[in-house]
Amino acid sequence: MKKQIQVGVVGCGYWGPNLVRNFRAISDCRLKAMCDLDVQRLAHLKSLYPEVEGETEYAHMLNGIGLDALVIATAVRTHFPLAKAALLAGKHTFIEKPMASSVAECEELVDIAKKKGLVLMTGHTFLYSAAVRKIKEIVDSGDIGEIRYISARRLNLGLFQKDINVAWDLAPHDISIIQYIMGDQPVRVNCQGSAHVTPGIEDVTSMCLTFRKQQTAIIQSSWLDPRKVREMTIVGSRRMIVYDDCAPQEKIRVYDARVDRPPHYDTFGEFHYAYHYGDVYSPYIKQEEPLKVECQHFLDCIRTGATPISSGQKGLELVQVLEASSESLKRGGAAIDLPFRPELNGLPRREAPLASAIKSVSAAMVGQAGRAEKPGVSLAHSVHAS
């Protein structure tokens, strides 16, 4: 029998308990300890899981209790110091999204993990959802043609954060999905936004990502909307996909719809756009909890040494976009170029297959929301007037 991986979860606030529940339910590991500075939160979790040790001292998680892996679900500004200490103590480390407060911090964590041969993974939960994987499969099959643009809306009322804007809070989900579907990193970011409730903290933002082939993605994030909306439209040259994560069924619909421009015409009277309206179909999607697949994938990567789908490198690439968005916001929406790095842009990378994680996860409920905290901004980018 395989030795169980000894896991500890740090941060038992809003999201941490979901990680606690999932790691506790996976037989491949033993959830040995939970840690929170807040004794009341810890007491609550202890009442649910009395067999799991409760710690208020993070240092105890690093030494003495024999953990192989740490899972960090605390405020974003604390991700870097906690994760750095975990990696230096030789623990495989899973950090909730966004991975850290700056690209420099992410780079340091990626570097330490590499030098120490440890798994570093970040919580891009939607990459483990069956719906997003199905979209990726459809796009990669060429069925929708070339992606022209993607638009995403993630809106609801609150939850207002005190030191983070809505882009750092909600957009990581959309950015990670878009980067995954496009298989590429944007080359340019524009972001505009406004603060209506807390001065200086944008509660509505609109971000535009530009990719190399002039493909764009527009991400609207809001804490000021009466409805909960999680929608994404992927417009291809042949077909279009609409993904509604709030829909109880038929989360994905593929529309056989497109418009073509005539190649040439001699008179205005001859000019007609060619609209095509065809069938709409909704592919079958297996119900499973993305977070459970994600937790199992972390354990699989520890066992096999494979690179996680949401690796530290991917966490870094996402924070790069967020940093650029903050810079753009400061400059009234100016275009911020991301440095072109061939190792980030469009080259295939060897990643762990998800099959074993999916196989070992039984059908469960779906549903998640994002909350995070505001990191600082420290990037020197080249700037274009918008």
Ligand X SMILES: NC(=O)c1ccc[n+]([C@@H]2O[C@H](COP(=O)([O-])OP(=O)(O)OC[C@H]3O[C@@H](n4cnc5c(N)ncnc54)[C@H](O)[C@@H]3O)[C@@H](O)[C@H]2O)c1
Binding site for ligand X (CB under 6 A): 10-16, 35-38, 41, 58, 73-76, 78, 82, 96-97, 123, 125, 368-372
The minimum distance between CB 328 and ligand X, in angstroms, equals 21
State in angstroms the smallest separation of the CB of 188 from ligand X: 25
- Residue given tokens 């911020």 in the structure block: 336
CA distance 120 to 107: 12
CB 334 within 8 A of CB 326: no
> CB of residue 58 vs ligand X: minimum separation in angstroms?
5
Distance of closest approach, residue 212 Cβ to ligand X, in angstroms: 28
Q: How far is the CB of 324 from ligand X (least distance, A)?
A: 19
Residue nearest ligand X (C-beta atom):
13
For residue 15, what are the contacts with CB-CB under 8 A and spacing of at least 6?
A: 73, 96, 371
Residue 263, preceding peptide bond in cis (omega within 30° of 0) = no
Question: Cα(105)–Cα(366) distance, rounded to whole angstroms?
Answer: 32
Residue 251 near residue 242, CB atoms below 8 Å: no
236/290 with CB nearer ligand X: 290
Minimum distance from residue 43 beta carbon to ligand X (Å): 12
- Over its C-alpha atoms, the chain yields an Rg (Å, rounded) of 22
Tell me the backbone φ, ψ of residue 139, rounded to 5 degrees. Answer: -60, -45
**Other CB atoms closer than 10 Å to residue 293's CB: what's the count?**
24
Rounded Cα gap, residues 150 and 144, in angstroms: 13
> Smaller CB distance to ligand X: residue 205 or 215?
205
Q: Compute the CA torsion angle 3, 364, 230, 243 (nearest 10 deg).
A: 100
Nearer to ligand X, 109 or 254 (CB): 109
14/271 with CB nearer ligand X: 14
Choice between 75 and 191, CB closer to ligand X: 75
What is the smallest separation between the CB atom of 298 and ligand X, expressed in angstroms?
Answer: 13
Between residues 5 and 45, which has the closer beta carbon with respect to ligand X? 45
Task: Please give the Cα distance from 49 to 70 (Å, whole number).
Answer: 18
Residue whose CB is less far from ligand X, 125 or 311: 125
